[in-house]
């Protein structure tokens, strides 16, 4: 018996959008990001690096198959998102696309990986039949305005994930990613250790052959690498959020890559 695939982060009850089942469904989109309050990192596409690097630390994690996945750090502890306030509002200036696409998602079957079905997370608290918010489908069963925009966003997001996957594979092919260690200590005595993450090793990058560096430049990857490396200083921003909440100060040791 095959094991059911794990659901993507945030999603709990993913089902295909149905003209019959969801004909009278509405969505109250609002600005409630409480669904993201329990994660300390979230996927970021390469196309988002330029804006995300101004505010977040961009790192790499490994999925179950060992593939490198870029992500932005949102907290210093497991299941801690310092960017979601008690009222559910996002406290940062930029909301990652992965967060913004929720509760919609594209799904495909293993035998037809290039054919996608629009799905929704029926467990999303914003869905209702009380006519609160915007209707998903119109009277003819066609996509409403919000759904049409969301589907367009999903398709664009998927296109960017393909480029991001190629970028991450290139980093691994050149052996540029190493595990990182970062230690944070508060005056209160609390200590945080960031492990299980990777970043580009600057020395390995400098040691690449000129033709490989040129290839990374031509592909648009070199700019992404530098944005990632410079973004690591934004870990200080997470420290400030923690110390403001606790009324303490924090001290961070430099982020280091370990071969």
- Whether 140 and 128 have beta carbons less than 8 Å apart is answered as no
Q: What is the mean pLDDT of residues 206-227?
A: 97
Q: What is the pLDDT, as a whole number, of residue 249?
A: 52
Q: What is the pLDDT, as a whole number, of residue 241?
A: 84
- Whether 81 and 95 have beta carbons less than 8 Å apart is answered as no
- Which is higher by pLDDT, 196 or 123? 123
Residue 34 has pLDDT above 70, yes or no: yes
pTM of the model: 0.88
Distance CA 85, CA 33 (A): 9
pLDDT bucket at 199, cuts 50 / 70 / 90: very high
Distance CA 120, CA 125 (A): 12
The secondary structure of residue 137, as a DSSP letter, is B
Q: In the sheet where 112-121 sits, what is the strand order?
A: 14-16, 112-121, 104-109
Mean pLDDT value across the chain: 89
Long-range CB contact pairs, 65-71, < 8 A, 24+: 67/165, 67/168, 67/169, 67/172, 68/168, 68/169, 68/171, 68/172, 68/177, 68/198, 69/43, 69/168, 70/43, 70/44, 70/45, 70/46, 70/164, 70/167, 70/168, 70/228, 71/41, 71/42, 71/43, 71/44
- Whether 167 and 224 have beta carbons less than 8 Å apart is answered as yes
pLDDT bucket at 68, cuts 50 / 70 / 90: very high
Q: What is the pLDDT, as a whole number, of residue 239?
A: 82
- Whether 40 and 9 have beta carbons less than 8 Å apart is answered as no
């Amino acid at each position: 018996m095959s094991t059911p695939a794990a659901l993507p982060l945030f999603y709990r009850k993913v089902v295909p959008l149905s003209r019959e089942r969801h004909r009278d469904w509405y969505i109250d989109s609002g600005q409630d990001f409480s669904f993201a309050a329990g994660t300390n990192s979230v996927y970021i596409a390469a196309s988002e690096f330029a804006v995300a690097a101004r505010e977040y630390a961009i790192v790499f994690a490994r999925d179950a198959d060992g593939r490198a996945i870029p992500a932005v750090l949102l907290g210093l502890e497991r299941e801690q998102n310092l960017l979601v306030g008690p009222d559910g509002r996002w406290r940062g200036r930029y909301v990652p696309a992965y967060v913004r696409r929720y509760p919609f998602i594209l799904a495909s079957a293993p035998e037809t990986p290039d054919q996608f079905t629009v799905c929704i997370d029926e467990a999303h608290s914003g869905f209702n039949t009380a006519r609160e918010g915007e209707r998903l489908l119109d009277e003819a069963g066609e996509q409403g305005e919000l759904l049409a925009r969301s589907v367009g966003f999903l398709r664009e997001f998927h296109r960017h994930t393909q480029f991001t996957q190629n970028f991450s594979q290139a980093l691994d092919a050149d052996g540029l990613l190493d595990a990182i260690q970062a230690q944070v200590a508060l005056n209160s005595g609390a200590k945080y250790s960031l492990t299980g993450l990777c970043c580009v090793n600057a020395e390995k990058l400098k040691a690449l052959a000129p033709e490989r560096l040129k290839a990374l430049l031509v592909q648009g990857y070199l700019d992404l690498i530098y944005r990632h490396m410079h973004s690591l200083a934004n870990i200080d921003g997470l420290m400030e959020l923690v110390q403001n909440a606790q009324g303490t100060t924090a001290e961070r040791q430099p982020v280091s890559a370990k071969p």
